[in-house]
Amino acid sequence: MDKAKIPYSLNSKKVADATREWLHKRGVQISEIAELVMLLQQKYYPDLTMEECIHNVEQVLTKREVQNAVLTGIQLDILAEKELLIPELQEMISNDEGLYGVDEILAFSIVNVYGSIGFTNYGYVDKLKPGVLERLNDKSLGPVHTFLDDIVGAIAASASSRIAHRKQAEREIEKGEESTDQAR
């Protein structure tokens, strides 16, 4: 059967797998994102474990909007590395031009999945560039990570928001209150 004849149909599992694979190929470990989450949240939840942080990062990565933003951003980084972009865009992306804000826009579509409470955490790690973000942001190292550093910060901020929602649900269940906001 001719390949062209198979009608297109979205395969969500393939998109999800590609997202994790490409994060890995671009040098980002789930545990490194989890460390950013720990940095952001341990002050509020002293008992928070790395295992929980990793679990929450993984849950964020199951979201379709997150996968779309990750793949699109990494794609633009790769093409900038290969110098395959329109010259004016090539220049802005390969130099991480501060006035080019599309990287922040994609990052925000990730943060938004768990609501506006994640904006602050995103801005904070994006400014301070702790851990993996320092490496991704180091312009001397060769690869272009104009999109990826913002995306990784956004995933960490999103996982932090998810933890905040979950911890509230746990508190309410302990108090015998019915939880109403489970499906995250």
* Interface positions, 9-28, toward a copy of itself (CB under 8 A): 9-16, 18, 22
CB 179 within 8 A of CB 169: yes
b/e per residue, 130-169, with b = 16+ CB within 10 A?
A: ebbbeebbeeeeeebbbbbbbbbbbbbbbbbbbbbebbeb
CA angle centred on 79, ends 142 and 154, rounded to 5°? 75
Interface residue with a copy of itself, options 29, 42, 49, 120 (CB under 8 A): 120
CB 113 within 8 A of CB 106: no
Nearer to a copy of itself, 51 or 182 (CB): 182
Element (H, E) at 160: helix 146-174
Interface residue with a copy of itself, options 106, 133, 136, 163 (CB under 8 A): 106
* Interface positions, 57-96, toward a copy of itself (CB under 8 A): 59, 62-65, 68-69, 71-72, 74-76, 78-79, 84-89, 91-92, 95
DSSP tag of 25: H
Choices 31-39, 49-57, 108-116, 130-138; region in contact with a copy of itself by CB under 8 A: 108-116
Collapsing DSSP states into helix, strand and coil, what is residue 131? coil
Total residues at interface with a copy of itself (CB under 8 A): 75
Choices 31-39, 46-54, 55-63, 130-138; region in contact with a copy of itself by CB under 8 A: 55-63
* Interface positions, 125-184, toward a copy of itself (CB under 8 A): 126-128, 164-165, 168-169, 171-172, 175, 177-184
Positive or negative CA dihedral for 135, 138, 143, 146? Answer: positive
Nearer to a copy of itself, 50 or 128 (CB): 128
Interface residue with a copy of itself, options 27, 55, 58, 102 (CB under 8 A): 102
Looking at residue 117, its amino acid is I
